[in-house]
Amino acid sequence: MKRRDFILTSFSLAVAERLSAQKPPYGDDIVMKAMIDELERTRQLRVVGNSSDAPYFVEYSLSDSESFNCTASLGALMNSSSNRFRAPRLQVRVGSYEQDQTNHVTSGIFTGSRLDLEQWPIDDDYNLLRQCLWLATDRAYKTALESMARKRATLRNVTVTERLPDFTKAEGIKAVKDFPKIKFDSAAWQARVLKLSAVFTAYPEVTNSSVDLQALRGITRLVNTEGSIIRYPDILYILRIRAEGLAADGSPLRDSMAFQALDVGNMPSESEMMQGARQLSENMKALTAAPMGEAYVGPVLFEPQAAAQLFSQLIGDNLRVTQKPLSDPGRPVPWFPSDFETRLNSKILPEWVDVVNDGTMKKWNGRDLLGYDEFDLEGQPPQRTVVIEKGVLKSFLTTRQPIKGFNTTTGSARLPGSFGANSAAISNLLINASGGVSRADLKKKLIENIQQRNKPYGLLVRKLDYPSSASVAELQALMAGLSQAGGTNRVMSPPVQVYKVFPDGREVLVRQLRFRGVGVRSLKDLVAASKETEQFDFINNVAPFALMAAGGYLAPTSVISPALLFDDMELEPVQEQQPRLPLVAAPSLG
């Protein structure tokens, strides 16, 4: 009897193990099953009579998210909404890794009718999901064919001196993470947003203010014909506080701050946020009473936050290098190359500075790093990359689009790009300066420098308008003005908090200064750094100056930086005409 029980039990275990082995890695995930099954069908796609244009690569990516958004001003709720959505990204490539339809000035342009849905279903309906994927694939394939035809026509009319592959091969990755169980009290957070916004009622100098919360909780799935099957959590919490005011001469002023985290439990406490809102209010009050800055050339000291904001633009934005897209002769190409593109193995910074980008780091000094990623948009894991070593540019951040000298990806495709490619972006950028001094001694060095040059004062920058809190119209005007003033193809976000530092150590706040002619060459004027470093977190996106709340794709980023002293930098006052102040004061909120 016991022997019989043993035989039956062994048989049952064997069957169970066999069934378990046959069970797919994604378990009972209907959405993933629909994606994989429809992906398999794409292998049959052909143009009748022309098998050479069958897709050689197809990828489905689907972000499945729940969002909660609320905004308040002066203690009153402006809006509140919860949403559930699915955002697909489909990629169909025809041709080959060496030459496909991408990297052409018209890549991605489709002239046919759109039959696929703009908004995808949120129900896990297998057949409906297959249909949505099929229709979206149909449009992506036809778009690829049109783009390929245009690219071939261009290649017949131009001479290409150096050809690079359009795409690089990668091994398929299988990594299926479980769905996260997240508790989020939307009512409690809405009450916090209201309380924070009420802080500004005590500051009549603040003419406009808002506090907004964005909570994104979801999961991303990715499958492709190379064999990748990936599922991972995609979570982000952002709380932004913005304030505006007017100077005595009518000049508009603004300042902002943000709190963000990958885990709601790691968001700052309510008391910390209240303190931040009060500090922002005091800053705006001081700015409205501050005098206009004067034209200045001389030493400038950047405190850690401002230094991180500066390096995010001067270094971070220049670490992405893309191929110049093909275009017909005489047709302009809307393409802006990196300022680092021709500087590989050249000295960029002093030899005592190293810069590393590392998306594999989760924490720094016990604090979460926003730039930690398991996978980038192309389903590739991030790699630790030493980009500047002893002041010399050693590497770029790359995607699966090869660039000269770099045929592999560093797993840095964090934002959508142009002409059929993704865009690399920094994740966790660490600026390491050896031989640093204390911040107090760094300020002394600033004072010594201005005394040696007989300057009446030096400048100290505590904060830049980055990410910018400007409106789109303000940003366009700002960029136009800065471009004319700077004379370079890249413009820098202006300082928000800048102080005159006098020989006796006094600091006097001034307003409305902007950089002039500051670019990558300015990095060679770096003369000293502090030994203390600080972490600055922000949300990168495809908008200029990482404009707050802009763009559909977000790349959380952390920058670790010391304070930095530059021997020479030029700033100038804003010259635009400003309207007069209102004749009647705003009503009291007390």
| Closest to 526 (Cα-Cα) out of 561, 497, 572 | 561
Interatomic CA distance for residues 397 and 414, integer angstroms: 10
Q: Is 429 exposed, middle or buried (0-12, 13-18, 19+ CB in 10 A)?
A: buried
Q: Is residue 457 part of a domain?
A: yes
DSSP track, 341-374 = TT-TTSB-S-TTEEEEE-TT--EETTEE-TT--S
Give the per-residue pLDDT at 182: 81
Dig out the tokens for 571 from the structure.
């700033």
Q: Is 242 exposed, middle or buried (0-12, 13-18, 19+ CB in 10 A)?
A: buried
Interatomic CA distance for residues 245 and 73, integer angstroms: 14
Fill in the amino acid letter for 375. Answer: F
How many CB atoms are located within 10 Å of the residue 50 CB? 9
Q: Is residue 304 part of a domain?
A: yes
| Closest to 177 (Cα-Cα) out of 126, 122, 218, 136 | 218
Instruction: Find the Cα–Cα–Cα–Cα dihedral 339, 103, 109, 36, rounded to 10°.
Output: -110
| Closest to 36 (Cα-Cα) out of 64, 59, 65, 63 | 59
Q: Is residue 271 part of a domain?
A: no
- Report the predicted TM-score, pTM, of the whole model to 2 decimal places: 0.91
Any idea what DSSP says for residue 305?
A: H
Give all strands (DSSP E) within 383-524, no chain letters: 385-389, 392-393, 413-416, 422-424, 428-433, 458-464, 495-501, 507-510, 513-515
Contact predicate 26/32, CB 8 Å: yes
Contact predicate 541/547, CB 8 Å: yes
Q: Is residue 232 part of a domain?
A: no
Dig out the tokens for 531 from the structure.
């030994």
- DSSP H helical segments within 331-460, as ranges? 439-452
Domain boundary among 176, 196, 220: 176
How many CB atoms are located within 10 Å of the residue 97 CB? 15
Instruction: Determine which helix (DSSP H) or strand (DSSP E) holds 209, and give its type and residue range.
Output: strand 206-224
Q: Is residue 376 part of a domain?
A: yes
How many CB atoms are located within 10 Å of the residue 117 CB? 13
Domain count, the chain: 2
10-residue mean pLDDT series, the chain (590 residues): 38 45 81 96 82 90 95 97 94 95 90 80 95 94 94 89 91 90 92 98 95 95 97 95 93 95 95 98 96 96 98 96 89 86 95 98 95 96 98 97 94 94 97 96 97 96 94 71 49 94 97 93 95 97 87 91 97 78 69
Q: Is residue 282 part of a domain?
A: no
Give the per-residue pLDDT at 359: 97
Query: Parallel, antiparallel, or unpaired for β 458-464 and 495-501?
Result: antiparallel
Q: Is residue 540 part of a domain?
A: yes
Domain of 411? 296-320+337-573
Hey, is 236 helix, strand or coil? strand
Domain boundary among 143, 176, 209: 176
Shared-domain flag, residues 379 and 523: yes
Dig out the tokens for 411 from the structure.
């797993």
Count of all residues that appear for the chain in the document: 590
Give the per-residue pLDDT at 16: 44
| Closest to 347 (Cα-Cα) out of 396, 288, 390 | 390
What distances in angstroms separate CA 407 from CA 232, 241, 271, 388, 396, one per listed residue?
26, 42, 49, 19, 11
Q: Is residue 434 part of a domain?
A: yes
Give the per-residue pLDDT at 45: 86
Domain boundary among 176, 208, 240: 176
Interatomic CA distance for residues 553 and 63, integer angstroms: 11
- Residue 422 phi/psi, 5° resolution? -90, 165
How many CB atoms are located within 10 Å of the residue 303 CB? 22
